[in-house]
A and B are shown apart, each in its own frame.
Chain A
């Protein structure tokens, strides 16, 4: 994938979340996502960036345009070098999210996006990736 398709936003403060949202929104609009999908993508960026600040103090959001043969999409990757998640399965359950079962946080991002993955190692950090495809 060409580097020009990628945007990296370091997340160290709330104002960085705004920058990540802005860049994600612009990229998603350029890719042809509908206005409501753009809102969903911005929301996913917010939730992932908020997680970085809450659990790892800092990290990075990477936004990537995906140009396949038949479809276009956007990949959001949030990575940190924080404490990691001991029980990923549990972290993905609504009952254990800080939103108290309302479906926000990581489970909320999973529902807004088409593909979702999470890799974590205790003491090394966490990488969450979420992809949304432009409906054909």
Chain B
């Protein structure tokens, strides 16, 4: 093939080599080989469905659509693939409605073209939103670090200096001095809380497991909860995954402390074949409006964040029998280094 080789990938049908129908190729990311394989598979699946319209064949269609999407095909590409496959499949039959159907498919392609523009806009927006999200996360990280390492350290020095100063002052100053120290402690807690909400610097300093344990230790002390923690997940995961997991756990644990009236809290992070499965379980009062969709603004935010990581959040709860959050995030753990 000459110059047109790059423009059209040809999908042949097994046993029908003389009837070659062009299958479109446009979208970046899909190689002609993929397209050809997909084209062949599509023809076979469509013929199977036309011969015997069963759900299994429709399920096959869904899987092919999924593969097409992952291969980078756009809506127009898929319809064009379908049109080619339909033309090939109908050429086996004796019916005289072939040209009409082919024309109808061309008509559909044109009608679908504005949707292609919208689809491309959504893809572009997606990339922009992800970039914005990462930029915001990085900004939060820097600010959290400045509070933690900068303001926090200055306050610590101030507390030390105040303590030294106190040692040299008359005893009757002590009550007023204690009040000043309490204010400094309060400021310290506020700064830590602000820093942690912005970005948990412990995640960078200690790794995921130690950061979660640190979080749970604090909860156990402050909320008088019996806390257990198990993990088989490496300390170092891709930053977006680690922060996504940490924030989901943080939100879940915060909800337990605020609303659950629980006495026990169990957090587990386990790796499985597809990624990480994390559960946050309590023995509290449960959630009334139970369902698959998470309730509450905090959980909604976590749900959206996990969606952005192709993960999911499931809330299982019955009134009076506690709540379990199941957080899943796909990640190729084997490829991640456990070190840096």
Contacts and interface: CB of A to CB of B under 8 A. Distances in A.
A20 to B, nearest CB: 15
A134 B6 contact: yes
A134 B3 contact: yes
Interface in A54-74: 72
B7 A37 contact: yes
Contacts of B80: 34-36
A94 B74 CA distance: 20
B118 A42 contact: no
Interface in B14-38: 22, 24-26
A66 B132 CA distance: 38
B13 to A, nearest CB: 18
B188 interface: no
Given A34-B7, A135-B26, A43 B109 contact: no
Given A32-B4, A32-B7, A39 B117 contact: no
B120 A111 contact: yes
Given A34-B22, A103-B117, A72 B3 contact: yes
B124 interface: yes
B8 A34 contact: yes
A26 interface: no
Interface string A89-119: 0000010000000111001100110000000
Interface in A16-51: 32-37, 39-40, 42-43
Given A34-B24, A43-B114, A135 B7 contact: yes
B109 A39 contact: yes
Given A35-B24, A104-B114, A40 B124 contact: no
Interface in B310-335: none
Interface residues of B, number: 26
B120 A103 contact: yes
A40 B110 contact: no
A68 to B, nearest CB: 11
B121 A108 contact: yes
Contact of A34 (B25, B117, B118, B121): B25
Contacts of A136: 6
B282 interface: no
A121 B171 CA distance: 81
Contacts of B83: 35
Contacts of B109: 35-36, 39
Contacts of A39: 76, 109-110, 113
Interface of B: 3-4, 6-8, 22, 24-26, 74, 76-77, 80, 83, 106, 109-110, 113-114, 116-118, 120-122, 124
22 contacts: A32-B3, A32-B4, A34-B24, A34-B25, A35-B109, A36-B24, A36-B26, A36-B76, A37-B24, A37-B26, A43-B110, A43-B113, A43-B116, A72-B3, A108-B117, A108-B118, A111-B120, A111-B124, A112-B116, A134-B3, A134-B7, A135-B25
